[in-house]
Chain A
Amino acid sequence: MNTRVIGRLVAKDCSLMRVPIALYTAAAFSGLMLAARGGTACRGAGITLALNVLIGVSFHVMLVPVLGERERKTLAFVMSLPVTPGDAAVAKMLGSFVLFLIPASVAATALVFLSPVDVFSAMAASDRSVLSHLAGWAGYYGVVLGAWLAFFSVVLAAAIVSESVGWTIAVLSVLVFVFGNFVLQVAPTLGWVGRYVRDLARGGTALPVTLAVETAAVALVVAVMLRLQGRKTSFV
C-alpha cells in the first residue's frame, strides 16, 4: 500500500465534498438542537432530521465520490496517478468513512433522545465520575456508528467494486430486507437478544464484544473488497 498517495486521495475526496459535508453537519447540529429543546414535536423533528442526515450522507458519499468518478471520467485521472487498484479502493473506503463520520457523529448524538430515559438528566443525577460518563459516550458512539459503518462498508464495497448504481442498490436492498426483518420480526422473539441489549446498555461484556464484532466485520468487508478488486480487469 502506498500510504502517502492513499492519504492524498482521501484528502482529495474531503476537499471535493467539503460543502455538502458542512451542510450535512449543520443539519445534524440543527437536529440535535431541536431534539434537545424538548417537547414532542421538537424532539420528533430533531430525531427525524438526524436520521435524514445519516441516510442522506451515506447515499451522497456512495453516489458522488465513489460511483461518480467513473461517470464524470475522473477515474482515469485518478488511476493514472501512481496507485494500484487496491490503493484506490482503500482510499475510497477510508475517504468515505471520514466523510460519513463527521456529520454522523453529531446525528448519532441527536439519536440519544430516542431513548425512553432522559440520558442527560440521568447523567446529572448520577454520582459517577466524568471519566465514567465519557467512557459511556465512547461506547455508545462505538456501537451506533460501528454498526452503521459495518452496514455502510458492505454497500460501499459493492459500489467500489461494481462501479454500478444497480448493483449497489441491489446490495443495499438485500441488506435492508434481511436486517430490517431480523430487527423488526425475529429479534423480539429471541430471549438472548433482550439479555444482550440490557447488557449492552449497562456497558457489560456485550459492549467490547459488539465493538470487536463490528471491527472484524469492517475488516472482513475490506479484505473481500480488495480480493474482488484484484480480479477486476478494467479501471476506467
Chain B
Amino acid sequence: MSDLPIRVRSVLKRFPQFTLQGIDLDVPRGRVLGLIGPNGAGKSTLLRILMGLVRADSGDVAILGRPMPADERWIKARVGFVSEDMALYGGKTLRWHMDLVASVHEGWDERRAAELLLRLDLNPDQKARGMSRGQQVKALLVLALARRAEVLILDEPTAGLDPLVRHELMQSLAGSRDERQAIVFSSHHGEDVSALADDVVFLHAGRIIANAPVAEFIGGGRSLESAFLERVSGLSAGRAA
C-alpha cells in the first residue's frame, strides 16, 4: 500500500486558450486536500487528469501507487468521482443507477448505501429527471461513497447547492474521511475547504501558487479566500516590479 495515495509530478496539459503546467502534488495517506482557485484556474482539468478523464501532455500521475492512465481500470475501481459536470440518466431511478454501479464495483456495500440514502434523505425509486440539482449531487455522492472507494475525487461538489444541502453534504464527506486513504476536492467556498481539508492548494492561471496545511493560511480572522487573494496580488505585484 502506497504512503502517497495521490502523487503528481510535472504534469502539463495544453489547451488552445489555457495551459496547466508544473503541477507537482502529493496527498499523503489519511489527508484531505482542498483545491481553491477562480473559474478557469485549472481545478477541473487537474481533477480530470487524476481520474483519467483527461490525458496530460506530459508528467506522471500515480493513484494508490499505480500509474494513470496505464492502470486506469484498476484505479477507477478504487476511486470515487463526483463532478458538477456529471449527470445521471434522467429517465432512470436512483435504484437503477445503484444496481449499475454495484454490478461493476466489487466493493459495493448495500447496507452502507441504505444508510446514506436515509442520511441524505433520498428516495431510491425517484427518477433522476425529477431530482433537484442538490438531490442529484447527493445521489452521485451515494454512488461514490457506497462503493467503499479508497480515494475520493470531487470536483466542485457543492456548486449551486443551497446552504442546507451544502452543510449536509460536507457532513457526509467529513463522516466518511476515516474510511478513505485520501480525498481531493475543489470548491469555490473557502469555508468548505477550511472545514474539511487538512491541506490546501491555490491554483491560479494553470499553476499552483501555494500548497500548505490549511492552518497556515487561516487564523486571526483571515479566511482562505483572503489568503488566496493576497497570494494572487503578491504575484501581480511581483510581475509589475
Contact = CB atoms under 8 A, between A and B. Distances in A.
Contact of A77 (B54, B69, B77, B87): B87
Interface stretch (B23-31, B96-104, B206-214): B96-104
Interface of B: 48, 51-55, 57, 69, 72-74, 76-77, 79-81, 83, 85-92, 96, 100-101, 103-105, 140
Given A12-B100, A72-B90, A236-B85, A82 B53 contact: no
Interface residues of A, number: 24
Which label, helix, strand, loop or mixed, suits the secondary structure of the A interface? loop
Given A73-B87, A76-B85, A81-B76, A233 B55 contact: yes
27 contacts: A4-B104, A8-B100, A8-B103, A8-B104, A12-B100, A16-B89, A16-B91, A72-B89, A76-B86, A77-B86, A77-B88, A79-B51, A80-B51, A80-B53, A80-B79, A80-B81, A81-B104, A82-B77, A82-B105, A84-B73, A87-B73, A233-B55, A234-B55, A235-B54, A236-B53, A236-B83, A236-B85
Given A12-B100, A73-B86, A74-B88, A79 B53 contact: yes
Interface in A1-39: 2, 4-5, 8, 12, 15-16
Q: Lowest 9 CB-CB distances: which A-B pairs, in order?
A: A73-B87, A82-B77, A233-B55, A80-B81, A76-B86, A82-B76, A236-B53, A5-B104, A82-B73
A161 to B, nearest CB: 15
B205 to A, nearest CB: 20
A2 B71 CA distance: 13
Contacts of B81: 76, 80
A112 interface: no
A15 B101 CA distance: 15
B179 to A, nearest CB: 18
B76 A80 contact: yes
A84 B51 CA distance: 11
A51 interface: no
Interface of A: 2, 4-5, 8, 12, 15-16, 72-74, 76-77, 79-84, 87, 232-236
A84 B76 CA distance: 9
Contacts of A74: 86-89
A234 B69 CA distance: 12
Contacts of A82: 73-74, 76-77, 104-105
B46 to A, nearest CB: 13
A83 B85 contact: no
A199 B221 CA distance: 88
A3 to B, nearest CB: 12
A9 to B, nearest CB: 9
Contacts of B53: 76, 79-80, 234-236
Contacts of A236: 48, 53-54, 83, 85
Given A72-B87, A77-B88, 16 more contacts: A2-B73, A4-B104, A15-B92, A15-B96, A72-B90, A76-B81, A76-B83, A77-B140, A80-B53, A80-B80, A81-B101, A82-B76, A82-B77, A233-B57, A235-B52, A236-B53
User: Which of A74, A77, A79, A87 gathers most chain B CB within 10 Å?
Assistant: A77
Contacts of A232: 55
